[in-house]
Amino acid sequence: MPAKGGAASGKDPADPKLTLVKPGPLPKSTDTVESLLQLERGPLYARLGLWLLDASEEEMTAFWEGYYQREDPNDTIKDLLFTQWGKKNAAGMLEMARRTGCEIPAMWSWSMSDPQGMLAYIEGKPERMRNFGLRGLAYFHPELARQMLEQDPKLLNTFEMEQLAERLSGGDPKAEMEFMTKYRNDEYYARQGLKKWAAQDPHRAFEWLTEHPGEEYTRKEFFDTVKKEHPDVLPELAATLPSGAMRREIEAAAFAHLAETDPEKAAEEARKIGVPRLAAERLSLLGQSLAAEDPARAFEILGEIFEKCPDAANRPAWVRYPDGSGGGSNGVTGVSRFLAALAAHDPRQTMQAVLDLEMQDTSPSAPTPYHSYPASRQVAGYWAQGDLEGFSAWCESQHEPGLRDMGASMIVDQFQRQNDFTSAAGWVARISDANRQQNALSNLVSGWASQDREAARRWVDQAEISDQARESLSPYFPETQE
């Protein structure tokens, strides 16, 4: 048999015995009313709290009479004093608070020691006083605060509801969201609440979101938070949804995370996709994540996009809605942002890469070179916007007329946006295609005349343009008409 007190007893003889130590007496304040009134807010709060443990009502009254006359009496000091004062004599505290103009803030403190007395006192009083009472109840007696709010919904207009929701929810994000939905159905507060919940428990937050779809901004807040705080759960969340916009959105976010954390695996997954548009979308996300850190690999990804989807920059998409209306867009989602990221790294290399890829498109639907290719036009726009001088030099070095005209048109647009119409006019003259030049000329004079009609008129009068072109511009100067 095991020995007494051995292993069978569940005790280890070597364990030290627990000895209960009787706590010593609490420290006693050595401060006086006079010494406390000499302190600034920081040290005052702690020393006042210790002093109040033993202070008499007369001493509290003396401190308050000295403190409230300060130029900047602090609310936290008021709350600390009134809370302890109310425990001793709520009526005396309230009378002094009323006499010194602090009756309303005192409701918060009174609610701690005598919530029912406070509720009876503020019945029928102004909303601001009732609001302070509600705030105190929310902090000290949440269920009484809930009852008060249900009986007087007007308090919603004056109270910081997110604070009350946090207090009354008891730390349960779902209860907090339901409270906010019931009492303040506001998109901003819904987003903030869902954001906090998503960071704490994305699965439960997602369940709530699917039951309350809300607005696009609410979903975006959720996805952005989960991507930042719990990106690993995104594929799992997507798998629970039926096909549709929300599932596609979460799958895209999951892939974006994969592209940032494991580019090779992301590329492998994208290559398995048989749908050209979707493959191009995924590869564009991957390319964006690589453009700054690994541009050489990003340019390889660009080639893969055009191989899978040659018209990725202008592939049309059309959506038909239940009411019969519709809407469309051109270009695969993400391609423009990928091109912009590459152009930000090296616009010249990006332009050459895109031109080479576009020239490889021999399909019957391929646009006329340099005129309608959206990819090269997009890169030209990004380059001209970010480095107009560099793009202008590149444009002047081009020998193919169509390519030079495309670049000149971009430069004209940029100068017009800067209200530099004289420089824009100089580049209009370099456009060789007659139709394109006439369109650029009309746009230029239209914008110029709206800013400075006389300057535009002087330029038209002396410009070396045909009489027919000059006549087409006359509507922009109506006072010259007979």
249 burial (CB, 10 Å; 0-12 / 13-18 / 19+) is middle
Question: Which has the closest alpha carbon to 403: 382, 439, 438, 379?
Answer: 379
Q: How confident is the model at residue 321, as a pLDDT? A: 65
| Residue-wise burial string across 377-390, b where 16 or more C-beta atoms lie within 10 A, e elsewhere | bbbbbbbbbeebee
- pLDDT the model gives residue 101: 87
Residues of the chain with pLDDT under 70: 1-18, 21, 156-160, 184-186, 214-217, 318-322, 324-329, 362-373, 479-482
**pLDDT tens digits, 222-259:** 888 888 889 889 888 888 878 887 788 888 889 998 99
Residue 5 has a pLDDT of: 47
Phi (first) and psi of residue 230, to 5 degrees: -140, 55
- Residue 122 corresponds to which tokens in the numbers above? 């503020």
Long-range contacts of 133-136 (CB under 8 A, 24+ apart): 133/107, 133/108, 134/159, 134/164, 135/108, 135/159, 135/163, 135/164, 136/107, 136/108, 136/109, 136/110, 136/111, 136/112
Q: Which residues of 12-43 are buried (b: 16+ CB within 10 A; e: fewer)?
A: eeeeeeeeeeeeeeeeebebebeebbeeeeee
Q: How far apart are CA 396 and CA 347, in angstroms?
A: 16
- Say how far apart CA 382 and CA 391 lie, in whole Å: 10
Contacts of 72 (CB under 8 A, 6+ apart): none
Instruction: Report yes or no: 312 and 306 within 8 Å, Cβ to Cβ.
Output: yes
What is the tens place of the pLDDT at every residue in 43-67?
A: 999 999 999 999 999 999 999 999 9
pLDDT of residue 4: 45
Q: What is the pLDDT of residue 366?
A: 56
pLDDT in the model for residue 183: 74
pLDDT at 389 (0 to 100):
96
Task: Give the C-alpha separation, 189 to 193, whole Å.
Answer: 6
Domain range summary for the chain, segments of one domain joined by +? 399-482
Gap between the Cα atoms of 407 and 440, Å rounded: 12
